[in-house]
Amino acid sequence: MDRRLINLIFVMVFFLFSCSNAEENKAQTVTEKTTTSQEFPSTGKVIRAMHGGGYTYMQIENNSKKFWIASTMINVKRDDIVTWTDASLMKDFKSSTLRRTFDEILFVTAASVKK
């Protein structure tokens, strides 16, 4: 199956579970695009981690650049180094589970803690 299709399905499932009702789905405007390694790295140090709705949200730092990623739930703590594959960037993503909006967040697949 095409990786873009898999990413799109992952993002759609994530979006559906993050919104608690249909009205929130209608009100939320989300922009998605597949990212490249030039735009965002695929590894970094965890600055902050939160769990909600079966997902782990992590603020990552890499070479002084800070950004948010979301993956299926993983065991992670501050200062862990994580890696991931295939990322889709979403702007203005509202998580009703966490009750916050992310200006930009990468939805990633296969995130893991580097040992």
The yes-or-no verdict on residue 27 having pLDDT over 90 is: no
The tens digit of pLDDT for each residue in 49-90 reads 999 989 999 999 999 899 999 999 999 999 999 999 889 999
**At 94, which CATH number?**
2.40.50
pTM (2 decimals)?
0.68
Burial class of residue 97 (count of CB atoms within 10 Å of its CB; 0-12, 13-18, 19+): middle
Give, in degrees to the nearest 5, the angle at Cα 97 between 91 and 101. Answer: 25
Q: Identify the sign of the CA torsion 43, 111, 54, 77.
A: negative
HEC profile of the chain: CCHHHHHHHHHHHHHHHHCCCHHHHHHCCCEEEECCCCCCCCEEEEEEEEEECCEEEEEEEECCEEEEEEEECCCCCCCCEEEEEEEEEEEEEEECCCCEEEEEEEEEEEEEECC
Domains in the chain, number: 1
**Structural domain boundaries enclosing 36:** 3-113
